[in-house]
Amino acid sequence: MQGNEVPVEWRGTLSNVIYRYGGELREASTIEVKIYNRLERKDTYNVIGIMKGEIEPDRYIALGNHRDSWALGSVDPTSGTATLLEITRVLGQMYKNGFRPRRSLMFCSWGAEEYGLVGSVEYVQEYVKVLGARMVSYLNVDVAVEGKVCVENGNGYFTFVENRQPYRQLWGVLALLLSETSVLPFNVTRYTTALMQAMNSLKPKDPAVLDPLRNAINDFGTATQDFVARLKSLDFENPYDIRAYNDQLLQLERAFQNPLGQGGDYTDLKHVVYAPAKINVYAADGFPSLSDAIISDDSSEIANQIAIATYFVRGALSTLKEFNNFFS
């Protein structure tokens, strides 16, 4: 391989090889690769545990992580799995000592993630109606530690020197905040900034075509400010008022879900604002369908996707309005 030589600590034990970072091949035009894979049908399992909430048992805070891995998987996913097990152990001990969460806590260990998110996707598809109506938040951690420095332990394996305690504490505390806070700690005003940033990342030839979406986001910002202002007059002694306010918070995120997805082979990617674009299916993109249309330079599809995005932003802002005034 071409490229710069790697540091001494990265080099292997072959004396006649110069270890390089990589790049193009140096003295060969082709490489023959033989793959010995077997196509077999295998069973995989999800492991789900639920700690029932005492006040709102039909509202779920889920913590999840997958178990399977490529190669050894010490970082992804075993560091996350170990952290999930530790959080489960601590909360289980708290439960034995009398703790009861306000909302139900779910602990999810997924199988067959590396084969295409199989375990979690199958679970959600089977229980989509229940989860869609009751889920408050899902907190996923596959990689709980990824130290800046790794050292060889003498047996050919490497150990990351940073521990996972801070991440474990953050994950656990965040789950408890979502479970125990009477009013869900969702900052809706920051969503306006996020929407505007996502829109500004789009680069159509004529920026003016985004004006309908920009106007909708500005109106969304006004609606979020009015919604937050209502919190000051909320009767915290009235559980029905709290429940109604929280339900509006839950509906906000759901309002950005397009049941048709992005069309074609991308019907599972339903979030209008945050989902992988077709040009990069591994990372979330802002307004992905609109981004794809702009890249393809299809003016008709650009106009169509702007209309769709505008429709969903305006639908989302209506979920935050007073119950007797959502249509104004």
One domain for residues 242 and 282 = yes
Q: Is residue 32 part of a domain?
A: no
- What's the pLDDT score for residue 157? 44
Last residue of a domain, one of 121, 156, 180: 180
pLDDT over 90 at 160, yes or no? no
Q: Any idea which residue has 């009477």 for tokens?
A: 182
- DSSP string for residues in 247-312: HHHHHHHHTTB-TTTTSTT-TT--BSSEEEETTEEEEEEESHHHHHHHHHT-HHHHHHHHHHHHHH
Q: For tokens 């008022």, name the residue.
A: 241
The verdict on 229 and 205 lying in the same domain is yes
Query: Does residue 238 lie in a domain region?
Result: yes
Report pTM: 0.82
Residue 285 predicted with pLDDT over 90 = no
* More confident of the two residues 5 and 154: 5
Question: Do 150 and 235 fall into the same domain?
Answer: no
Residues 56 and 100 placed together within one structural domain of the fold: yes
Q: Are residues 54 and 165 in the same domain?
A: yes
* Sign of the torsion angle spanned by Cα atoms 207, 270, 66, 86: positive
Domain assignment present for 35: no
* Average pLDDT of the segment spanning 81-102: 96
Residues of the domain holding 168: 47-180
Among 159, 180, 201, the domain boundary falls at: 180
| Lowest-confidence region among 6-10, 50-54, 193-197 | 6-10
CATH number at residue 162: 3.40.630.10
The yes-or-no verdict on residue 153 having pLDDT over 50 is no
- What integer pLDDT is reported at residue 165 of this predicted model? 65
- In sequence order, which ranges of the chain are alpha helices (DSSP H)? 78-96, 118-126, 128-134, 165-180, 189-200, 211-230, 239-254, 288-296, 299-318
175 lies in some domain? yes
Mind listing the pLDDT tens digit for each residue in 44-66? 999 999 999 999 999 999 999 99
